[in-house]
Structure 1
Amino acid sequence: MRMLLNVRFPHEPFNAFVRDGTIGELIAKILEETKPEAAYFTEQNGGRGAVLIINLDDPSQIPSFAEPFFLKFNADCEFRVVMLPADLAKSGLETIGSKWS
């Protein structure tokens, strides 16, 4: 199942990793381990953030995606199911709409 993982990094310990020069290596290690389909780093509400597109075969995989961010950064993680246009086309919206209109 395709999921959007939204990560919000607190200033610390992220700042400490930037100062000591290890942030790039740490982010690379997490991305190498989790292998997201896509990863974007951005500002979120005035702070640092990331948006990753990941694929879950089973809900039990959620900790393997969240824990690196929890343990290394004290980050907040939100998971959302997302669809491609083809997924939406297969959803049956037409029949759902007529059923509930």
Structure 2
Amino acid sequence: MRMFLKVQMEVDAANRAIKDGSLPKIVQGFMEAAKPEGVWFTALDGKRTMVAVFDLASPAQMPPLAEPFFTGLNATFELSPAMDAADLQTGLSNL
């Protein structure tokens, strides 16, 4: 299922991760594991934020994807199902 992910990194933990080089490794690990359709980086609510869209084949993928962000960046990890325009059209046609 296509998922929308928002990761918000705690500022001090992200600062340390930048200094020690672990932030790019955590992001790269996510990229290799999730193979996202797209990933974007911004600041939201004063925090470094990553948003991504990717296919979640199984809920069992959630812990390995989330834990590096939790443990390495003290981040929040919000995951929601998402539709593209074609999915929306299909869903609306089924009403």
* TM-score interval (norm. to shorter): 0.7 to 0.9
1:47 aligned partner = 47
More displaced, 59-68 or 47-56?
59-68
Amino acid at match of 1:87: D
1:62 aligned partner = 62
Shift of 1:24: 2.7
Larger radius of gyration: 1
1:8 aligned partner = 8
What's the secondary structure of 2:15's corresponding residue? helix
TM-score (norm 1): 0.80
Q: In structure 1, how many angstroms separate the alpha carbons of the residues matched to 2:90 and 2:71?
A: 38
Q: In structure 1, how many angstroms separate the alpha carbons of the residues matched to 2:35 and 2:19?
A: 26
Amino acid at match of 2:60: S
4+ residue runs of structure 1 moved beyond 6 angstroms? none
| Aligned residue-pair number | 95
Q: Flag structure 2 segments of 5+ consecutive residues without an equivalent.
A: none
2:75 aligned partner = 75
Note the aligned Cα RMSD (angstroms): 1.8
Amino acid at match of 1:35: K
Q: Flag structure 1 segments of 5+ consecutive residues without an equivalent.
A: 97-101
Q: In structure 2, how many angstroms separate the alpha carbons of the residues matched to 1:30 and 1:57?
A: 15
Amino acid at match of 1:11: V
